[in-house]
Amino acid sequence: MRNGKIAVFCHGHISLPATLEGELAKQFQIDDWQRPEEEYEQPVAQRQPFRAIVKELVSDNVPFTAKMVPQMLKDFAALRRMFVYMRDVRADNYLGGKIVDFSCAWTAPHILVSTYLRNWDVIDSDLQWDLEQFDEMIKDAGINTWRRASPNPEYLSKLRPRPEPASDDW
């Protein structure tokens, strides 16, 4: 998926022993390893190893700038063409204009993007939410731009109606 172009470059993953938790927690201010509660009751040496995704280091702590927004929108549209829906669009998930977190993303085929289980209007509403969140993120950052991820209702009201999308399952 265009590794490094749309998102921060991902080198792969690594499995780390639980005995490193204390050291990593101190160095990176990690307070939640998202383990099942019963594992926290065990001695650290008996806990399951944890997996970590190894990504390119981004030393710039700025999520994005006004100059980055046009490319971010292109990247966002490219993700959607690949049927990847972030579902958690916010400034915290960007560094240097690149996406750093896909933890809530849906990819099609996905059970919640299936017309076998859900009405197309509900699916479409879920997928439009990403677009609205992107625009809200840009607005919250104080960036004034005419570029938008979501359709402009005022502009769309002036256009001829479009046919409904096919209800075929992806």
Q: pLDDT digits over 69-93, tens only?
A: 999 999 988 988 888 888 899 999 9
pLDDT > 80? residue 170: no
In the chain, domain spans: 10-55, 66-156
Cα 148 from Cα 169, distance rounded (Å): 28
pLDDT for the residue numbered 136: 92
The set of residues, in sequence order, having a beta carbon less than 8 Å from that of 68 and lying 6+ positions away, is 96, 97
In the chain, the percentage of residues whose pLDDT exceeds 70 is 94
pLDDT confidence band for 3 (50 / 70 / 90): low
pLDDT for the residue numbered 168: 58
Cα 25 from Cα 19, distance rounded (Å): 11
pLDDT > 70? residue 166: no
pLDDT > 80? residue 165: no
pLDDT confidence band for 94 (50 / 70 / 90): very high
pLDDT for the residue numbered 149: 86
- Per-residue CA distances from 158 to 15, 20, 95, 132, 151 (Å): 55, 60, 37, 20, 12
The rounded mean pLDDT for the chain is 85
In the chain, the percentage of residues whose pLDDT exceeds 90 is 24
The set of residues, in sequence order, having a beta carbon less than 8 Å from that of 151 and lying 6+ positions away, is 131
- Per-residue CA distances from 25 to 19, 22, 116 (Å): 11, 5, 44
